[in-house]
Amino acid sequence: MFYLAIDILGTIAFAISGVLIAMEKKLDLFGVFIIGFVTAVGGGTLRDLLIGNVPVTWIKEPVYMVTIAGTVIVAILFVNKLKYIRKSLFLFDTIGIGFYTLIGIEKGLSAELTPIMCIALGTITASFGGVIRDILCNEIPVVFRKEIYATVCILGGAIYFLLLLTPLKADYAFVVSIISIISLRILAVKYKISLPNIYRS
């Protein structure tokens, strides 16, 4: 139940981020729903396919479709309450990657993968919904820009496995790692911390 709740929260956060960018691009209602949907389930779908978990989670569990549909409707109704859409998009996107990284890691552990593969799976889960969203909206995906994105997922995953070596309970390690990912991304953007650019002018 704990992990399901975290997964649902991640789904809501990513669906909202999808709705925000779709409405910024002035898509119609169907377009807004599709962008919200693929943002919420894109990474998880790829994850499930990679580990052979088929049918994928959102097909087996109707709660995800209901959650996404409800989130899209609520986000559309209250989008005017969000004064700064770009800031809102960043916030919900950041919350989403925090939740989804750890959900992906847990799926990897359930599939008996090594810690490194679990972190890779968590990063894919957190990143690829946003990649699909940005491509469909004719944007360069955030994960491919200088801005730190996937790196914080990797760091958060490493923190989680290090915490599992301590006496801290697994559920607490899970939550601390999510908070770490969210905090690291906020700090990286605030202080303009980025990976080095390989291109020289």
For residue 4, the model assigns a pLDDT of 87
Does residue 169 sit within a domain? no
Does residue 162 sit within a domain? no
Which of 148, 145, 149, 177 has its CA nearest to residue 161? 177
C-beta of residue 177 within 8 angstroms of C-beta of residue 119:
no
Which of 5, 18, 20, 3 has its CA nearest to residue 128? 18
Q: What is the pTM of this model?
A: 0.91
**Three-class secondary structure of residue 6 per DSSP:** helix
Q: Distance between CA atoms of 137 and 64, rounded to whole angstroms?
A: 23
- In degrees, rounded to 5, the angle at the alpha carbon of residue 8 between the alpha carbons of residues 129 and 95 is 60
For residue 18, the model assigns a pLDDT of 93
Which of 93, 106, 75, 65 has its CA nearest to residue 150? 93
Per-residue pLDDT of the chain (201 residues; tens, 9 = 90+): 788 899 999 999 999 999 999 998 999 999 999 999 999 999 999 999 999 999 999 999 999 999 999 999 998 888 777 656 667 788 899 999 999 999 999 999 999 999 999 999 999 999 999 999 999 999 989 888 766 889 999 999 999 999 999 999 999 999 999 999 999 999 998 888 887 766 655
Q: How many other CB atoms sit within 10 Å of the CB of residue 114?
A: 10
Q: Distance between CA atoms of 116 and 106, rounded to whole angstroms?
A: 12
Q: How many other CB atoms sit within 10 Å of the CB of residue 109?
A: 19
From residue 47, give the alpha-carbon distance in Å to each of 44, 74, 155: 5, 27, 19
Does residue 183 sit within a domain? no
Number of domains in the chain: 1
For residue 76, the model assigns a pLDDT of 87
Does residue 158 sit within a domain? no
| Residue ranges making up the domain that contains 113 | 2-140
Counts of helices then strands in the chain (DSSP H, E)? 8, 0
Does residue 155 sit within a domain? no
Side chain identity, residue 143: V
